[in-house]
Amino acid sequence: MSAPTRLLVCDLDGTLVGNDAALAWLLDALTWDGAPMLAFATGRQHDSACALLERANVRAGAYLIAGVGSEIYERDGDAWRALPWPPASSTWDAERIRTSLADVPELHPQAVHSPHKISYVAHPRTLARVRDALEGSGITATLVHSHDELLDILPPGVDKGSAVRHLAERLGLRLDAVMTCGDTENDLAMLALPGPAVIVGNAHPRLRAAAVRMRNVYIARAEAAAGIREGLERFGWLTTLGWSALDGTPRSRRGTSSRSL
């Protein structure tokens, strides 16, 4: 795998996946000369993310960030190889967290967990009680609430943002060479990184509201993959001639698809 000069990180549900025609166009464009490396960042666990990619006929992508940033995988042929992430934490104790939250009302455990992510169905009004219960037990953790009812509890400092930052460091990329794209609140941590960020047109209102004062964020009108394309064009990564170089110089699409921009 050659060293990339830029990285495009996309959430899956509602961002990369959700507009079949636009997705097909984008995947084709990512085969052209000068295209960024593609990575995924999803709240789904590894197996569920792979199943979604299979259903959407997505064969591209070099890295997969799963479990709201609690897992990172590198493509290895037709398989995905787990990378050592997240960093070891002496304060992470999943069983202790579950015990401390056992008596919190209106908090319902989800069946799917991973070693570094505990998930619940929780109304926003429950979050203060969750924080109080954890603090009362001396527990430090990252809380990510999204989709109005999904609560993920992760080791301190772990989320999609820290996972993307780690991946950029692994690839030797500056964060301004990393574009992130999302549609819900669990994408906020990666959208808040210093690089260009795109919120697709079908994004959750809470994410839109949170991003109002973020100068690096472009809120697209188009939905899903069409919104990603709109953002790529807005930030100058993609032009009528193809992918631009780091200095903004347009590249031609030598030896690649002739499908019209």
pLDDT value at residue 250 = 52
CB-based contacts of 213, cutoff 8 Å, min separation 6: none
pLDDT value at residue 248 = 57
Identify the structural domains of the chain with CATH numbers, from first to last: 7-85+159-243 (3.40.50.1000), 94-154 (3.90.1070.10)
pLDDT value at residue 113 = 75
Peptide bond into 86 cis (omega under 30): yes
pLDDT value at residue 1 = 58
pLDDT value at residue 114 = 87
CA 96/CA 103 separation, integer angstroms: 13
CA 255/CA 249 separation, integer angstroms: 18
pLDDT per 10-residue tile (average), the chain, 261 residues: 89 97 97 97 96 96 98 96 91 94 93 90 94 96 95 97 98 97 97 98 95 93 98 96 75 42 44
For the entire predicted model, the pTM comes to 0.93
CA 219/CA 3 separation, integer angstroms: 29
CA 50/CA 133 separation, integer angstroms: 35
CB atoms closer than 10 angstroms to residue 112: 12
